[in-house]
């Protein structure tokens, strides 16, 4: 049994352990919805499951706190399903295996799900606690945050009664977030034809792995390698030098994760195969040097493999290489108002072969909606000029900061009184649900906060144990000092 249940505060950790035992990848949340509904109902709380699967529970104020503004504790139930090659984890069936190391809770070869399982566990702990002081509380457990924010988008106005939203989906203890970036997905499609493999060819499997990956918003400024870009550069260069032809290309896995791994099956003329192998070795040296500080574990390799039945037609191959090469990736602009904050970015997330076409998936983020739309249009134009089709979808708004927020001032005072310092107030370059939820409930005063989580959306994800305790104590004290109506 995992030792995380022995950690303090036990209320959060026992609930988080329960969440790790229930498969909950985005779009596959049936089991976790049923579990959460049963959990709330067993506490005797009024419980609602709305049309899309959001779970809402209500807990009355404790005696003497009835005059306080209503608090909504909000977290999302789904998690990002990422694993290291060879782990063999089935995210629809298998529990997450956790362990504690050097003060951090981690998972064995997979994402941990602390994003946003810790927030959900904290809400559950508040709902079941009998020794807390608080005004009226509602818990809102949303679904599908990671792949479309479906739960937030489909939440109906009028269901929730509270005045203050505490979003528990941020990842730096001691920081309060009052704004976030909006986002939009831009996709390129390149239909291909299959041709016979050129005579006298030798087949290879190309692999790029060992990259750190990470959250495509929170980690985009760290200069980490993009596996899709790296393997595309390799193939583009080899196409000119060695007449390389592509049979398969599979890069990245999720729209909101920096791609850590990419694979391709290619063929080259057999008489120059040895030179091609040497070229790949030399290319790896260049890549390792380029990312020695930001992503030192990168590995580029080639291995002989079975001959594919076909290769992609040369015209589409050239179009694909051009599209991936010219597609922007990484930080586009930094904020002029908040030092060190990314304002606009894009992630070249996935390259897949689906239904007879290459599909390139990208995600643009910006705290300025006009810049987000401009960047998406630029990327669509790159795909179109390369000869493909292009469209954008899943647009969601950012969350505009309110520096005069009443709950912001209350939480700053609570934190200062408890820990002797004022928490930092920030905006985050990630897509929190607050922007969408605030559209349905414009009266809400909103704050996002949480414990320290590192490398979300990657198998290196970990949550700091000490900060979970600080986060819990801060939450409990905030509930006790909620402003009056």
- Radius of gyration, CA atoms only, the chain: 24
Please, what is the Cα angle at 340 between 338 and 344, to 5 degrees? Answer: 80
- Given the residues 29, 115, 138, 145, select the one marked as catalytic: 145
Backbone angles phi, psi at 100, to 5 degrees: -110, 130
- Given the residues 78, 138, 219, 445, select the one marked as catalytic: 78
Q: How far is CA 333 from CA 220, 286, 359, 381, in A?
A: 12, 27, 26, 19
Cβ atoms of 412 and 372 closer than 8 Å: no
Q: How far is CA 83 from CA 134, 205, 254, 448, 456, in A?
A: 40, 20, 12, 28, 12
Cβ atoms of 478 and 470 closer than 8 Å: no
145 in active site: yes
Cβ atoms of 275 and 252 closer than 8 Å: no
473 in active site: no
Could you tell me which of 10, 19, 35 has the C-alpha nearest to residue 120? 19
Give counts: helices (H), strands (E), the chain: 11, 23
273's torsion region: left (phi>0), alpha (psi -120 to 50) or beta? alpha
CA pair distance 425, 412, nearest whole angstrom: 9
Beta-carbon contacts of 338 under 8 Å, excluding residues fewer than 6 positions away, are 426, 427
Could you tell me which of 79, 80, 73 has the C-alpha nearest to residue 168? 73
**Kind of pairing between the strands at 462-464 and 453-454:** antiparallel
Q: Which residue has the tokens 């290291």?
A: 84
Name the β-bridge partners of 353: 358
Cβ atoms of 213 and 224 closer than 8 Å: yes
Cβ atoms of 49 and 33 closer than 8 Å: yes
CA pair distance 279, 282, nearest whole angstrom: 5
Which residues are designated catalytic? Answer: 78, 145
């Amino acid at each position: 049994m995992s030792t995380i249940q022995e950690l303090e505060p036990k209320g959060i950790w026992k609930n988080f352990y329960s969440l790790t035992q229930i498969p909950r990848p985005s779009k596959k949340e049936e089991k976790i919805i049923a579990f959460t509904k049963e959990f709330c109902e067993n506490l005797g709380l009024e419980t609602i499951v709305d049309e899309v699967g959001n779970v809402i529970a209500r807990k009355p104020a404790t005696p003497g706190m009835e005059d306080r503004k209503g608090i909504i504790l909000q977290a999302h139930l789904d998690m990002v399903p990422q694993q290291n090659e060879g782990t063999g984890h089935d995210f629809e069936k298998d529990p997450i295996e956790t362990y504690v190391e050097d003060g951090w809770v981690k998972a064995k070869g997979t994402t941990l799900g602390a994003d946003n399982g810790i927030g959900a566990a904290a809400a559950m702990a508040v709902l079941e606690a009998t020794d807390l002081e608080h005004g009226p509380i509602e818990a809102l457990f949303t679904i599908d945050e990671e792949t479309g924010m479906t739960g937030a988008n489909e939440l109906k106005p009028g269901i929730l009664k509270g005045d203050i939203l505490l979003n528990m989906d941020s990842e730096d203890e001691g920081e309060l977030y009052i704004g976030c970036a909006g986002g939009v997905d831009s996709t390129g499609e390149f239909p291909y034809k299959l041709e016979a493999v050129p005579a006298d060819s030798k087949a290879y499997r190309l692999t790029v792995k060992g990259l750190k990956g990470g959250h495509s918003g929170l980690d985009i400024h760290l200069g980490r390698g993009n596996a899709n870009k790296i393997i595309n550069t390799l193939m583009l260069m080899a196409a000119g030098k060695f007449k390389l032809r592509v049979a398969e290309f599979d890069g990245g896995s999720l729209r909101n994760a920096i791609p850590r791994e990419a694979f391709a099956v290619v063929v080259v003329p057999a008489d120059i195969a040895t030179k091609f192998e040497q070229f790949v070795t030399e290319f790896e040296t260049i890549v390792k040097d380029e990312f020695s500080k930001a992503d030192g574990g990168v590995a580029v390799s080639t291995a002989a493999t079975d001959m594919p039945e076909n290769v992609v037609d040369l015209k589409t191959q050239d179009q694909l290489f051009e599209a991936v090469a010219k597609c922007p990736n990484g930080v586009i602009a930094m904020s002029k108002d908040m030092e060190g904050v990314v304002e606009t970015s894009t992630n070249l997330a996935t390259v897949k072969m689906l239904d007879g076409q290459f599909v390139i998936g990208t995600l643009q983020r910006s705290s300025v909606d006009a810049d987000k739309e401009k960047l998406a249009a630029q990327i669509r134009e790159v795909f179109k000029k390369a000869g493909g089709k292009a469209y954008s979808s899943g647009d969601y708004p950012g969350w505009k900061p309110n520096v005069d927020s009443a709950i912001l001032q209350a939480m700053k005072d609570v934190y200062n009184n408890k820990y002797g310092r004022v928490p930092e107030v920030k905006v985050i370059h990630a897509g929190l649900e607050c922007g969408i939820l605030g559209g349905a409930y414009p009266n809400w005063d909103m704050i996002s906060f949480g414990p320290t989580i590192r490398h979300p959306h990657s198998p290196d994800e970990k949550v700091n144990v000490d900060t979970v305790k600080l986060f819990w104590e801060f939450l409990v004290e905030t509930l006790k000092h909620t402003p009056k109506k």
